Amino acid sequence: MLHFNSSNRLRHLALAAGAVGVLGAATPALADTVLEGETIRILGIGDPVFQVMQKIHGELEEMAGGTVQLDVRPFDVLRQQVLLNAQNDLSNYDLIAVDLPQFGEYMSFLTDLNPLIEANGYDGSDFHDVAWTGAQFDGAQLGVPLQPHPEIMAYRSDIFEKYGLDAPQTHADVLAAGATIQANEPGMSGVCWNAARGTALGQTFIMNMGDFGAAPIDMEKIGDDFNMGNIQPENMRPTIDTEAGAGTAAYLEALMDVSPPGILNMAWDERVRVFAQGGCAMTYIWSGRSAIYELDESAPARGNVGYVPHPSADGSPNRSTLGGWYLSIPTNIDPDRVDLAWKVIEWLTSADMIAEYTKHGNCVSPRKSVSQDAEVAARCPSIPAVDQMSADGFIAGWQRPPVPEIQKIVDALGTEMHQVLSGDKSSADALAEAHRLVDREMQKAGYY
Partner 1 sequence: MSQKSEARWTATVLVSPAVLVLVLLNIFPIAFAVYISLRHWSLASPNPPRFAGDFNFAELLVDDRFFNSLWVSGTFVTLGVVIQLLLGFALAFVFNSKLRGLDTLRRLSLLPIMTMPLVVGLVWFYMLNENFGVINWFVTLFGSERLPFLTERTLAMLSIVLADVWQWTPFVTLVIFAALQSLPEYVFEAGRMDGLTEREIFFRITLPMLRPAIIVVLIIRAIDAFRMIELIFMMTKGGPGGATEVLPWYIYTTGFLSLDLGYAAAMAVTMIILVTLAAQVFVRQIADPGKN
Shortest Å distance, C-beta 415 to partner 1 = 7
Question: Based on CB atoms, which residue is closest to partner 1, 5 or 182?
Answer: 182
Question: Does residue 172 interact with partner 1 by CB under 8 A?
Answer: no
Question: Does residue 424 interact with partner 1 by CB under 8 A?
Answer: yes
Q: Which of 97, 421, 434, 442 binds partner 1 (CB under 8 A)?
A: 421
Question: Based on CB atoms, which residue is closest to partner 1, 108 or 125?
Answer: 108
Residue 121 CB coordination number (10 Å): 6
Contacts of residue 165, defined as CB under 8 A and 6 or more positions apart, other chains included, come to 177, 180, 181
Element holding 82 (H helix, E strand): helix 75-86
| Binding residues with partner 1: total (CB under 8 A) | 36
Contact 48, 412 (CB under 8 A): no
Question: Based on CB atoms, which residue is closest to partner 1, 27 or 88?
Answer: 88
Q: Which residues within the stretch 275-304 sit at the binding site for partner 1 (CB under 8 A)?
A: 279
Q: Which residues within the stretch 352-411 sit at the binding site for partner 1 (CB under 8 A)?
A: 404-405, 407-408, 411
Question: Does residue 261 interact with partner 1 by CB under 8 A?
Answer: yes
The strand pair at 95-99 and 320-328 is best described as antiparallel
**Secondary structure class of 327 (helix, strand, coil):** strand
Question: Does residue 422 interact with partner 1 by CB under 8 A?
Answer: yes
Shortest Å distance, C-beta 252 to partner 1 = 14
Report the residue count for the chain: 448
Shortest Å distance, C-beta 43 to partner 1 = 16
Distances (CA, A) of 379 to 6, 46, 260, 302: 11, 22, 28, 11
Shortest Å distance, C-beta 290 to partner 1 = 19
The stretch among 26-34, 191-199, 318-326, 390-398 that binds partner 1 (CB under 8 A) is 191-199
Shortest Å distance, C-beta 87 to partner 1 = 9
| Angle at which helices 48-55 and 57-64 cross, to 10° | 80
Contact 26, 350 (CB under 8 A): no
Shortest Å distance, C-beta 254 to partner 1 = 18
Q: Which of 9, 149, 337, 418 binds partner 1 (CB under 8 A)?
A: 418
Question: Based on CB atoms, which residue is closest to partner 1, 175 or 280?
Answer: 280
Shortest Å distance, C-beta 393 to partner 1 = 32
Query: Exposure string (b/e) for 208-236, b if CB count within 10 Å is 16 or more?
Result: bbbbbbbbbbbbeeeeebbebbebeeebb
Question: Based on CB atoms, which residue is closest to partner 1, 158 or 270?
Answer: 270
Contact 84, 43 (CB under 8 A): no
Using CA atoms, how far apart are residues 69 and 79, in angstroms rounded to an integer?
A: 18
Question: Does residue 332 interact with partner 1 by CB under 8 A?
Answer: no
Question: Based on CB atoms, which residue is closest to partner 1, 197 or 237?
Answer: 197
**Secondary structure class of 172 (helix, strand, coil):** helix
Question: Does residue 225 interact with partner 1 by CB under 8 A?
Answer: no
Question: Based on CB atoms, which residue is closest to partner 1, 77 or 119?
Answer: 77
Question: Does residue 125 interact with partner 1 by CB under 8 A?
Answer: no
**Secondary structure class of 233 (helix, strand, coil):** helix
**Per-residue x/- track, 44-83, partner 1 (CB under 8 A):** --------------------------------x--xx--x
Question: Does residue 186 interact with partner 1 by CB under 8 A?
Answer: no
Using CA atoms, how far apart are residues 124 and 390, in angstroms rounded to an integer?
A: 15
- The CA angle 404-407-410, to the nearest 5 degrees, is 135
**Secondary structure class of 322 (helix, strand, coil):** strand
Shortest Å distance, C-beta 269 to partner 1 = 12
Q: Which of 236, 274, 364, 413 binds partner 1 (CB under 8 A)?
A: 274
Using CA atoms, how far apart are residues 301 and 155, in angstroms rounded to an integer?
A: 9
The stretch among 37-45, 93-101, 382-390, 440-448 that binds partner 1 (CB under 8 A) is 440-448
**Where would I find the beta strands (DSSP E) of 74-139?**
95-99, 136-137
Question: Does residue 84 interact with partner 1 by CB under 8 A?
Answer: yes
Question: Does residue 105 interact with partner 1 by CB under 8 A?
Answer: yes
Q: Which of 68, 191, 263, 345 binds partner 1 (CB under 8 A)?
A: 263
Question: Based on CB atoms, which residue is closest to partner 1, 124 or 178?
Answer: 178
Contacts of residue 442, defined as CB under 8 A and 6 or more positions apart, other chains included, come to 236, 237, 238, 405, 448
Among 320, 173, 199, CA closest to 258: 173
Q: Which residues bind partner 1 (CB under 8 A)?
A: 76, 79-80, 83-84, 105, 108, 196-200, 260-265, 270, 274, 279, 404-405, 407-408, 411, 415, 418-419, 421-422, 424-425, 444-446
